[in-house]
Amino acid sequence: MSSALNEVETRPPVMLGALFLAFLKTSMYGFGGPIVWVRRIVVDERRWLSDRDFADLLSFCQFMPGPNVVSITVCIGAKFRGPVGALAALAGFIVIPWAVGFGLGALLLSYAQTPLLQGILRGVAAAAAGLLIATGIRLLLPHRHRPTALAFAAFAFVGLAIVKLPLLIVVLGLVPLSIALARPDGTPAR
């Protein structure tokens, strides 16, 4: 649990270069959900974290604003090497992959009007939207026995997608109420 944070101090220090390279790899492999690759590299390959620690970190980062994988990157870097580690991991995750992805994507966007590419993009967007919805449904499954949780998920969905309220209104309106009504009993929802 929280003592797991101290265990790492008995191991050899994680090098800044290793953080940079590990997250560079994660980002470049990151087709179809970078989280999968972060787990594979950080837990299975490098053995920097146990599965349990990783799950704890993930549950924290899923609630933080911004790109989830970026939060994980920053937290893992910070955990091993402080602020410099966070920067090294972040630089690995973003700088080169962003430049490569931006160049590639800008090229594709300039040809987006050709019928073939137009068709392909249409199909990719349709499938990717499905993956997003499925991810949401999967995350919702552990909460299926809590009517309040289902209700708040439904309110958030309807507010944003159907009524088309601004995100700020939805978040400010629902989050305080949802936290006030949540009970801390039972197993923590993951």
Angstrom distance (rounded) from CA 116 to CA 23: 34
CB of 13 to other proteins, least distance (A): 19
Applying the rule CB under 8 A, the residues between 94 and 133 that interact with other proteins are 94, 97-98, 100-102, 104-106, 108-109, 112, 115-116, 119-133
Q: Which of 14, 20, 56, 88 binds other proteins (CB under 8 A)?
A: 56
62 binds other proteins (CB under 8 A): yes
Name residue 116's amino acid: L
The b/e string for 77-109 (b: 16+ C-beta within 10 A; e otherwise) is: bbbbbeeebbbbbbbbbbeebeeeeeeeeeeee
Report if residue 28 touches other proteins, rule: CB under 8 A.
yes
- Give residue 143's Cα distance to chain centre: 19
According to CB under 8 A, which one of 20, 54, 80, 93 is a site residue for other proteins?
93
Under the binding rule (CB under 8 A), the answer on residue 17 touching other proteins is no
Among 18, 46, 69, 91, binds other proteins (CB under 8 A): 69
Rounded to whole angstroms, how far apart are CA atoms 105 and 12?
40
How far apart are alpha carbons 88 and 85 in whole angstroms? Answer: 5
Using CB under 8 A as the binding rule, whether residue 52 contacts other proteins is answered as no
Closest CA to 32 of 170, 130, 118, 109: 130
SS3 (DSSP) at 183: coil
What's the closest the beta carbon of residue 99 comes to other proteins, in angstroms? Answer: 9
Q: Which stretch binds other proteins (CB under 8 A): 8-16, 42-50, 53-61?
A: 53-61
For other proteins, what does the binding mask look like between residues 163 and 182, x meaning CB under 8 A?
Answer: -x-xxx-xx--xx--xxxxx
